[in-house]
Structure 1
Amino acid sequence: MNSLAESGKRYTVMLVDDEENILNSLRRVLRGQPYDLLLATNGTQALGLFELHRIDLIISDARMPGMDGPTLLSEVYHRDPDCMNILLTGYADVSMITKAINEGHIFRYISKPWNDEELVITLHQALEFQAVRRDRDALLKLANEQNNKLRDLNDGLERRVAARTSELQQTADMLDLAYDELRRNYVTSTEVFSLLINQRLPRLRQTNQRVIEVVRAYCAASALSDTDTRDLTMAAALYNIGKLGWSDVMLAGCADLLLRTETEAFKTYPGKSEALLMALEPLHDAMHIIRHHQEHWDGRGFPDRLSGQSIPLGARVLKLAVDFVELQCGLVLERYLTRDEVFVYLRQHKSTYYDPALIEFFIQVCTCHLPESLLDPSVKVLDVRRLKPGMVLDRNLSASNGLLLLNEGKILTALLIEKLTAFEAVDGGRFSVFIRAAEVQ
């Protein structure tokens, strides 16, 4: 009872009875309560007042002429389910009470004559129940509204997140493309730089581009990843950058001779190459390949004397490619080797210089995927029987024992060709003679 008074809210209560004395009695009982009272003597009048006012609770007599109480309360319920209904009856009519409960959804029924205190308590309970129900409905409505707003916010957030994610993915894709382009540009830049290295080398000693071609052919045939191919290609372009501090005489010399006369300088060039590239992050993996490309399978190479599988795979491949090219350019031994002689050399030194598991596949790549003119398209390799007077020797010609027979640039005559034929028969082998292509008809 106190809770309604403390709330400070007033309620509108309608009293319906066809007897004036009953209405007066009810009004007297409810005097002093926080109610605004409306009075009606029949159902029709009650419905008329119901249309004009927002009514919180109705107390209706059960038996009235015309429209009885259960019918009135049923109509009220259909118009406003929130209105609290109490049936006032002087007869224990079960069917009428049942109708009031089922159709009028009454909160309670009170028998005549009533107890004043019980009546007041019943009204308070009904209105408190109504207040709780209204608060619950208001909270549910607020919760639904907030849930709808939250759902809209979530939907909007998801759309924004999806849009942002798509934007970030596009940005990431663009960055990946830019990074790939940067890596490709690094490869191109290293190849351009390798051409600068070649400016200090004689024409026949310009090996970098040729090593790159060998490496590319190997990578394609072995299906190495794009990253490994890129790293190995950059290593091939810059493997000898550490030689830039050498004198022209050393640059033109062969490894076999330099290892006897300039051992310290020769063995430090892979490490110097690595040091020159250390500040360039995209070359990080390539520089380790360069550092170890002169390691030997048996552990007797340099600079770190690595052996077997401890040598990076890229370095083992680069070692084969470099020697394949440099052996034919006179940069390893004191004589030039033909391609077939290089293949023999590689097989002879497997398990000492080279990874034995790579040799045959490497030779197959060189045989099937590289042109005969790889080293220099302006040079042809002929046997002695195909030589003709007037041809110009492009490289020094040596016997199998290393004896120099003819110097580079020598113009062949019929007499020289005849002597070469005779010497070849005595030597027991076949000479491969490098002739300038312009002279070959």
Structure 2
Amino acid sequence: MEAPQPSTLAPRPSLLLVDDEESILNSLRRLLRGQPYEVLLADSGARALEILAERPVDLVMSDARMPVMDGATLLARVRELSPGTRRILLTGYADLDTIINAVNDGQIHQYLSKPWNDEELLLVLRQTLEHQHAERELKRLQQLVLEQNRQLKTSNAGLEQRVVSRTAELQQTADMLDLAYEELKHSYVTATEVFSLLANLRLPADKQTNRKIIELVRACCTSQGLDEASSRDLTMAAALYNIGKLSWSDTMLGAPSDLLRHTDQARYRAYPEQSESVLMALEPMQDAARLILHHQERWDGSGFPQHLKGEAIPWGSRLLKLAVDFIELQCGLILERRMNSDEALLFIRKYAGRLYDPNLVEDFVRVCAAYLNDVTVDDPTVRVLGTRELAAGMVLRRNLNADNGMLLLNAGKVLSEPLVQKLIAFEAMEGGRYSIFVSMPEA
């Protein structure tokens, strides 16, 4: 077996071999020649104790049968004088009592029989010393840890107070930053609304939609109990949803989307993506930009730009579409005929499940009824009838306009039979179909 090479940094382990027979000692010395050990010899127990008193010894290996002082007695004395020294008993006799005494009194670490096997003896010595080295290293590290802990406790005593003071300073700074960040987010929303108003100046006053959509979206956010971040993103999306239209001509800006020619239709369908691309470079606008990108998707998947369907459309985009269409229907930006608010809500109800999220429509109608003064669609005293359902005595509750926008009758007009017949004839001539908001005559 190849012996381990001695370390150039650590001293060689010292071995004390004890036997009253010189031939045995010489055999052991020859066996250990070339091994990384310092070998000491003693021909008696007394001489072994003298050597141990003069210098430290890492391991004592003693013969069991020696005159005056046997191996068990010697190893018991070694344990008393140098507890860290490893102890091995070398016996040529099957003397159980001697081994028991050595184990009990000397607490030997190993015993070997004579004649020994060289390889086995070298292995036992190496393993015993390695175990001793590991124990010493463990004790050294434990002492080092204890000392470091002591130093840490001393340092921590001073650090704790500094940490408390520093923590208070950091908390104060964090509170100031939170306040500044909240103010910054509020300022960002305000800035988007101001910018949307400036962008709206390109449109005629009766087609400027952004302010109305912002207010309606805010009312919806309050009704839905949305958190501040979601409300902020929806408000910014409402303010800038049509920023991608600014490159259009004035004619196209004011035209109903249903009447756009083929080439203009392609530009119209591209405006959500153009709006998103303008805003994506602004980090606080990225979530709002995503809502804008998808606000022209339809519940049945026929929308644009990505033909998303149902729940795949972001929730905020579905709500934004309701608000945008409700306002744009009244401004003549979707259909040629401008609708009043009640007609726009009836249109939205009609297309729930096709264009709009059916789970949002009724809540949206209730918000409009609560926040807008001119909505009567949920008024139980108001009915929506076709011209052939009208009767004399009914009172017109909303202005009635022809498809070309011409005012036919004012709200408050009491219908007569001749007037009803004229409306039927005019409707047939136009080829349209009127929705007429009336209340029943008082009994």
**Is 1:272–2:271 an aligned residue pair?**
no
Any unmatched runs of 5+ in structure 1? 1-142, 374-383, 388-392, 433-441
Evaluate the alpha carbon distance shift between residue 420 and residue 302 of structure 1 in structure 2; reply closer, same or farther with a 3 A threshold: farther
Q: 2:181 maps to which residue?
A: 179
* Equivalent of 1:293 in 290, 295, 300: 295
For 2:359, what is the secondary structure of its paired residue? coil
The amino acid across from 2:325 in the alignment is: D
| Counterparts of 1:212 and 1:360, CA distance in 2 | 19
Cα pair 2:300 2:355 within 8 Å, conserved: yes
Contact 2:338–2:405 at 8 Å: present in 1 too? no
- Give a deviation string over 1:74-130, Cα, whole Å, max 9, x none: xxxxxxxxxxxxxxxxxxxxxxxxxxxxxxxxxxxxxxxxxxxxxxxxxxxxxxxxx
Amino acid paired to 2:364: F
Query: Are residues 1:158 and 2:160 paired?
Result: yes
Aligned twin of 1:406 = 406
Question: Which residue pairs with 2:78 in the alignment?
Answer: none
1:216 offset after TM fit, Å? 0.3
- The one-letter amino acid paired with 1:297 is W
Amino acid of the structure 1 residue aligned with 2:339: L
Report the Cα offset of residue 187 of structure 1.
Answer: 0.4
**Counterpart in 1 of 2:422?**
423
Q: Deviations over 1:307-363 (max 9, x none)?
A: 111111110000000001111111111111111111111111111111111111111
Alignment of 1:196-211 (within 5 A): 196-211=198-213
SS in 2 for 1:201: coil
SS of residue in 2 equivalent to 1:262: helix
Q: Secondary structure at the match of 1:331?
A: coil
The answer on whether the counterparts of 1:200 and 1:248 sit within 8 Å (CA) in structure 2 is yes
Q: Map 1:98-117 to 2 at 5 A.
A: none
AA in 2 matched with 1:424: L
Q: CA deviation at 1:425?
A: 5.0
The alpha-carbon deviation at position 154 of structure 1 amounts to 1.9
Query: What is aligned with 1:336?
Result: 338
**Runs of 4+ residues over 6 Å off in structure 1:** 384-387, 417-421
Alpha-carbon distance between aligned partners in 2 of 1:244 and 1:419, rounded to the nearest angstrom:
49
Conserved? CA contact 1:274–1:291, under 8 Å: yes
Alignment of 1:397 onto 2:396 = no
Distance 1:154 1:405 in 2: 82
Deviation at 1:429, TM superposition (A): 4.6
Residue from 358, 361, 375 that aligns with 2:360:
358
Distance 2:341 2:364 in 1: 13
Partner of 1:246: 248
- The equivalent residue for 2:310 is 308
- Counterpart Cα distance in 2 of 1:157 and 1:339: 68
Q: TM-score, normalised by structure 1?
A: 0.54
Equivalenced residue count is 265
Which secondary structure state, in structure 1, belongs to the residue aligned with residue 217 of structure 2? helix
Within 2, Cα distance between the matches of 1:285 and 1:371? 32
Name which of structure 1's ranges 160-169 and 279-288 shifts more when overlaid on structure 2: 160-169
Looking at structure 1, the residues matched to 418 and 241 of structure 2 have their Cα atoms a distance apart, in angstroms, of: 41
Asked whether the 8 Å contact 1:259–1:266 carries over to 2, the reply is no
2:238 paired with 1:236: yes
The superposition leaves residues 48-68 of structure 1 with CA deviations (integer Å, 9 ceiling, x where unpaired) of xxxxxxxxxxxxxxxxxxxxx
Q: Distance in 1 between matches of 2:179 and 2:418?
A: 63
In structure 1, what is the equivalent of residue 371 of structure 2?
A: 369
Matches within 5 A, 1:32-43: none
Superposed, 1:11-160 pairs within 5 Å as 151=153, 153-160=155-162
Q: CA RMSD in A?
A: 3.4
1:240-289 residue CA offsets vs partner (Å, 9 max, x unmatched): 00000000000111111126561111000000001111110000000000
Opposite residue 280 of structure 2, the aligned amino acid is M
Which residue is 2:90 aligned to? none
Give how far 1:430 is off: 5.6
Question: TM-score with structure 2 length normalisation?
Answer: 0.54
Shift of 1:153: 3.7
Aligned in 2, Cα 1:405/1:280: closer, same or farther, shift over 3 Å?
closer
Distance in 1 separating the partners of 2:259 and 2:311: 29
1:222 aligns with 2:224: yes
Q: 1:164 to 1:188 in 2, by over 3 A?
A: same
Aligned partners of 1:156, 1:165: CA distance in 2, in Å?
14
Contact 1:424 1:431 in 2 (8 A): no
Are residues 307 and 213 of structure 1, via their aligned partners in 2, closer, same or farther at CA, if it must alter by over 3 Å?
same
